[in-house]
């Protein structure tokens, strides 16, 4: 991966990657990115994430991106980042002792009255 990060063209021309078998969705993304000017760099970015997120997660993210009709590395990386985010915390119920007894009123005249007394 460090070599690919420095030389993304090796993905297209390198002997080790000529007959490289990728999972189906990742291969479809690679073929679609081949036509882009920075397609090799984008594919290297996607492959780089396999080291941290694992091949099944990246494969699923590629499949989801393709199902939405897009294939850029930014979209795949965004899908993976959203899967890593923790779920929102559960709402905490407010105890009765902390409930407001009198709802606040929007009354700007109260502020004006305070200003006059000072």
Q: pTM of the full predicted structure?
A: 0.65
Q: What percent of the chain has pLDDT over 70?
A: 84
Task: Say which DSSP state 106 is in.
Answer: -
Joined tokens for residue 56: 């099944």
pLDDT in tens, 18-63: 677 888 898 898 888 888 888 888 888 888 898 888 889 999 999 9
Distances in Å between the alpha carbon of 30 and those of 52, 61, 65, 69, 89? 19, 13, 13, 14, 37
Q: Are 88 and 50 in contact (CB under 8 A)?
A: no
What residue spans define the domains of the chain? 2-86
Task: Say which DSSP state 46 is in.
Answer: H
Cα separation, 74 vs 45, whole angstroms? 9
- Average pLDDT along the chain: 83
Joined tokens for residue 9: 């063209």
| Positive/negative CA dihedral, 79, 71, 26, 2 | negative
């Amino acid at each position: 991966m460090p070599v690919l990060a420095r030389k993304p063209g090796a993905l297209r021309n390198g002997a080790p990657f000529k007959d490289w078998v990728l999972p189906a969705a990742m291969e479809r993304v690679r073929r679609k990115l081949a036509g882009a000017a920075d397609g090799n760099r984008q594919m290297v970015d996607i492959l780089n994430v396999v080291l941290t997120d694992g091949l099944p997660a990246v494969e699923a993210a590629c499949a989801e991106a393709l199902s939405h009709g897009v294939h850029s590395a930014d979209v795949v990386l965004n899908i993976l980042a959203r899967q890593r985010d923790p779920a929102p915390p559960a709402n905490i119920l407010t105890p009765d002792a902390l409930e407001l007894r009198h709802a606040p009123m929007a009354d700007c005249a109260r502020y004006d009255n305070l200003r006059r007394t000072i």
